[in-house]
C-alpha cells in the first residue's frame, strides 16, 4: 500500500486533497484518529495573501502532524516560491500547487484551473517553487478548461518535466465544476503518459469505487474529497478494502452523531463560538444525511447558536434512531469528552450562558 512522492515513502495510497472550508486542523484531527496513515492536505491558501498575512491559520498544523501537505495557489512564480518556503517552514512534508480550483473568484485572477490555459506560466511556477524548497512539490489539476480544451495529458507531462513529484487529476473539466460524471478514462490517459505517481480523483463515495478507479485508471493512488464529508470513516474503509478485499461496516448512526458533536465542538473551540458554530452547520448536515427520519432534526441543526442546542438536538436524534439506549450512548460519549478535556467543559459552560 505504500507510495513514493519524491523522497517520501507514504504508508497509504489514499489521499484527502484540499477542500476549502473543510480540511482544517479540526477535520484532519478527526481523520487522523480514524486512520493515522492517510494522506492529508490543508485548505488551499493564497500565496499573495500570505505576503500580507504570513501567520494565516490555514497553515496551522498539529504537533507531529504527518504526513501533511500545505496547498498554495496563485499565478506569480516568485510569490508562489515564497509561499512554498513558508509552508516548508511550517512543517509541511510536501507542498501542493492548486491548478484545479474551478471557482470563478479564483480562476478570474489567473489562479487555480485558469493556469491550465497558460501552461508556460504553470511550468515556470513549478520550476520556481521546486528550486525554492527541499520538500517534494505536487500539483492538482483537472482534465482541462472545457471539453474543447482537454489538455490534461500534455499538461501533466509538462508538470513532470518541470519537476513535479506527483499529481492529482480530477476527472472533470473546469466548465463542469462538480456536475456530471468524472471521466476516469481520461485520467487513465494521464497516468499512461507519466512516470511520477498519479492520484485519480472524482466520484469515489464507497470503497468499491476506489478499487474500480485504481483498476480502470492504473493510478498509483486515489484522492477522495467530497466522499469524506460527514463520513471520515470512508478513508480507513477504503484502505482496508484495498489491502484485504474485505469491507468494514459503515459506522452506526449513533457513532456518526457522536463524531458530529465532536467535530462541531472542535470547530467552536478552535475558531471561536460564532465562527465555529456557523461552520459546523455544514458538517452537521453531512453527518446526518442518510439517517432515517433525520430531516427535521437537520433543519434545526442548521439554526443552532450554542453547544446546548447542539447537544439537545443530537441527543434527541440519537433517541429516535437508537431509542433510550442510543441516547444513553450519545450522552455518555459527550460526558467522556468533557472529562478528558477540562478546557472543553469550561468552553461548554461559557457557550451555554
Only one residue has cell 478528558, namely: 340
Q: Hey, what's the torsion of the CAs at 259, 260, 261, 266, to 10 degrees?
A: 90
The three cell numbers of residue 264 are 462541531
3-state secondary structure of 305: coil
Q: Do the Cβ atoms of 264 and 276 come closer than 8 Å?
A: yes
Count the neighbouring beta carbons within 10 Å of the beta carbon of residue 311: 19
3-state secondary structure of 192: helix
113 given a catalytic annotation:
no
Question: For residue 142, which of 130, 131, 155 has the smallest C-alpha distance?
Answer: 155
Out of 38, 101, 113, 219, the active site residue is 101
The three cell numbers of residue 305 are 447558536
Count the neighbouring beta carbons within 10 Å of the beta carbon of residue 262: 18
Residues annotated as catalytic (active site), given as ranges: 101
Amino acid at each position: 500500500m505504500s507510495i513514493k512522492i519524491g523522497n517520501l515513502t507514504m504508508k497509504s495510497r489514499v489521499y484527502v486533497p484540499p477542500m476549502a472550508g473543510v480540511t482544517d486542523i479540526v477535520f484532519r484531527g478527526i481523520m487522523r484518529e480514524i486512520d493515522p496513515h492517510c494522506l492529508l492536505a490543508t485548505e488551499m491558501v493564497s500565496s499573495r495573501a500570505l505576503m500580507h498575512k504570513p501567520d494565516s491559520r490555514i497553515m496551522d498544523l498539529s504537533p507531529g502532524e504527518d504526513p501533511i501537505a500545505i496547498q498554495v495557489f496563485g499565478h506569480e512564480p516568485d510569490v508562489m516560491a515564497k509561499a512554498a518556503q513558508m509552508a516548508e517552514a511550517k512543517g509541511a512534508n510536501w507542498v501542493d500547487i492548486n491548478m484545479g480550483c474551478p471557482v470563478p473568484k479564483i480562476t478570474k485572477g489567473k489562479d487555480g484551473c485558469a493556469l491550465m490555459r497558460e501552461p508556460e506560466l504553470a511550468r515556470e511556477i513549478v520550476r520556481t517553487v521546486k528550486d525554492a524548497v527541499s520538500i517534494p512539490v505536487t500539483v492538482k489539476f483537472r482534465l482541462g478548461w472545457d471539453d474543447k480544451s482537454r489538455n490534461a495529458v500534455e499538461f501533466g507531462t509538462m508538470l513532470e518535466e518541470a519537476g513535479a513529484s506527483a499529481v492529482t487529476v480530477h476527472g472533470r473539466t473546469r466548465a463542469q465544476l462538480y456536475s456530471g460524471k468524472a471521466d476516469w478514462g481520461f485520467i487513465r490517459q494521464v497516468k499512461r503518459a507519466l512516470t511520477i505517481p498519479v492520484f485519480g480523483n472524482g466520484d469515489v463515495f464507497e470503497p468499491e469505487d476506489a478499487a474500480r478507479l485504481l483498476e480502470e485508471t492504473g493510478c498509483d493512488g486515489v484522492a477522495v474529497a467530497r466522499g469524506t464529508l460527514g463520513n471520515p470513516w470512508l478513508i480507513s474503509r477504503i484502505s482496508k478494502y484495498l489491502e484485504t478485499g474485505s469491507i468494514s461496516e459503515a459506522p452506526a448512526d449513533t457513532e456518526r452523531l457522536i463524531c458530529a458533536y465532536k467535530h462541531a465542538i472542535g470547530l467552536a473551540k478552535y475558531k471561536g463560538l460564532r465562527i465555529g458554530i456557523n461552520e459546523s452547520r455544514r458538517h452537521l448536515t453531512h453527518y446526518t444525511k442518510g439517517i432515517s427520519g433525520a430531516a427535521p432534526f437537520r433543519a434545526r441543526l442548521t439554526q443552532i447558536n450554542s453547544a446546548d442546542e447542539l447537544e439537545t438536538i443530537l441527543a434527541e436524534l440519537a433517541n429516535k434512531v437508537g431509542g433510550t439506549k442510543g441516547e444513553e450512548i450519545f450522552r455518555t460519549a459527550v460526558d467522556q469528552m468533557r472529562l478528558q478535556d477540562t478546557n472543553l467543559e469550561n468552553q461548554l459552560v461559557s457557550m451555554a450562558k
